Amino acid sequence: QGPRDQGMVWETLVNLVCRPPRYKYDPEEVLGPKRFRIDGRLFERVDLEVLNKRRQRLQCSHYMPVLEGNRAGQQTKFPCVIYCHGNCGSRVDASDCLDLLLPQNISVFAFDFSGSGLSDGETISLGYYEQDDLLAVIDFLRSSGLVSRIGLWGRSMGAATSVLVAARDPSIAGMVLDSAFSSLTQVMYELANQYMRQVKVPKILIHGAISVLRKSVQKKGNFDIRDVNPEEASEKCFVPALFAHADGDDFVLAHHSKHLYERYSGDKNIITFGGDHNSPRPAFFFDSVGIFFHNVLIENAELEAAEPTASPYSADLNQMYSLQQQYLSQQQSQSRAPAPDLHAVRLTPPKEQPQNSWGDSHAVAAAFSPLMQPGQGGGEDGVIEALQSSLREMEAELGPNDPNVVELRKMLREYQSR
pLDDT digits (tens, 9 = 90+) for 238-272: 999 999 999 999 889 999 999 999 999 999 999 99
φ, ψ of residue 310 to 5 degrees: the values are -70, 150
Let me know: does 321 contact 50? Beta carbons within 8 Å: yes
**At residue 390, does pLDDT exceed 50?**
yes
Rounded-to-10 torsion of CA 8, 12, 18, 23 = 120
Whether residue 157 has pLDDT greater than 90? yes
- In this structure, the number of other CB atoms found within 10 A of the CB of residue 358 comes to 12
Q: Is-contact 99 147, C-beta < 8 A?
A: no
Q: How far is CA 88 from the centre of its chain?
A: 8
Contacts from 365-371 at CB under 8 Å and sequence distance 24+? 365/195, 366/12, 367/9, 367/12, 367/13, 367/15, 367/16, 368/13, 368/191, 368/192, 368/195, 368/196, 369/195, 370/1, 370/5, 370/6, 370/9, 371/9, 371/195, 371/196, 371/199, 371/201
What pLDDT score was predicted for residue 361? 53
138: amino acid identity, one letter = I
Specify which residues 272 forms β-bridges with. Answer: 245
pLDDT at 74: 65
Q: Which of 201-205, 213-217, 234-238, 306-310 has the lowest mean pLDDT?
A: 306-310
Distance CA 213, CA 17 (A): 9
pLDDT for the residue numbered 293: 96
State mean pLDDT over 140-157.
Answer: 95
What's the mean pLDDT when you consider all of the chain? Answer: 80
The more confident residue out of 336 and 260 is 260
**Region of poorest pLDDT, from 67-71, 134-138, 400-404:** 67-71
pLDDT computed for residue 343 by the predictor: 61
The pLDDT of residue 383 is 63
* 43 neighbors 65 (Cβ within 8 angstroms): yes
Going from the C-alpha of 59 to that of each of 158, 174, 229, the distances in angstroms are: 16, 24, 26
Digit-coded pLDDT (tens) for 23-41: 999 999 999 999 999 999 9
Backbone angles phi, psi at 270, to 5 degrees: -140, 140
Q: Say what the pTM is.
A: 0.80
Contacts of 274 (CB under 8 A, 6+ apart): 246, 247, 248, 282
pLDDT value of position 253: 93
Long-range own/partner contacts, residues 90-95 (CB < 8 A, 24 or more apart): 90/23, 90/25, 90/116, 90/117, 90/118, 90/354, 90/356, 91/31, 91/59, 91/60, 91/61, 91/117, 92/23, 92/25, 92/30, 92/31, 92/117, 92/354, 93/155, 93/354, 93/356, 94/61, 94/63
Rounded Cα–Cα distance for residues 244 and 261 (Å): 10
User: In the prediction, which pLDDT does 410 show?
Assistant: 80
Q: What's the pLDDT band for 363 if we cut at 50, 70, 90?
A: low
What is the residue type of 251?
F
In this structure, of 141-145, 293-297, 310-314, the range with the lowest mean pLDDT score is 310-314
Lowest mean pLDDT among 93-97, 215-219, 366-370: 366-370
